[in-house]
Amino acid sequence: MRQIVAALVFVLSYFMLVAGIGESYYSIVAPGVIKSNRKYTVIVSLHEAVEPAKFNIRIEGPQYHMSSDAYLQPHESQSIVFVPQKLVQGSHKLVVEGVSGLVFRNESFIIALHYVGPKIYIQTDKAVYKPGDEVQFRVLILDEHTRPLTIAEPIRVEVMVRGTVLGDGKYF
């Protein structure tokens, strides 16, 4: 009887040990194209893990390196947003590493699309001017979706007449 109980305890403890040693799964979702001054969102998810995990997410390029960390509990997802200022043509990579809780390293190549730049429109107060009329204008700087462009540095506007710059360029 004792041998049966001992064998039963051994078998049950073995199954409990095997059930406790589970594999952790993760998923990374990100676009394959990156653009300058546009949001690049990476979604990191941790599935069926036995412990929390720390992820390091990086974008690496010829002139652009940015990184962010994500701390996830099991069955949790998190969005990480990068906004690269100015990308150049070349090889760009998305690198995701599991630092703790789940150790791995994945690399994916990203296509960097060349950014043409903002669309600049000049609007005047009337269509036809006579000599001596005052010209009133405004400058519209829009992105590719025709929304006002958000920029970090000021814009300088120069008005030229026959190759001569009028006034001292204005900053907006």
Domain ranges of the chain: 20-112, 119-171
Per-residue pLDDT of the chain (172 residues), as tens digits, is 555 544 444 433 333 333 334 577 888 999 988 888 788 999 999 888 888 999 999 999 888 889 999 999 999 999 999 988 888 877 889 999 999 888 889 899 988 887 666 788 888 888 888 888 888 888 888 877 788 887 777 777 777 777 777 766 555 5
Q: Residue 2 is encoded by which pair of tokens?
A: 């004792």
Kindly report the CATH number that applies to the domain delimited by 20-112. Answer: 2.60.40.2950
The answer to whether the Cα torsion of 83, 88, 94, 100 is positive or negative is: negative
The CA–CA distances, whole Å, from 1 to 4, 8, 12 equal 5, 11, 17
**Residue given tokens 């025709």 in the structure block:** 146
DSSP 71: E
Q: What confidence score (pLDDT) does residue 22 get?
A: 56
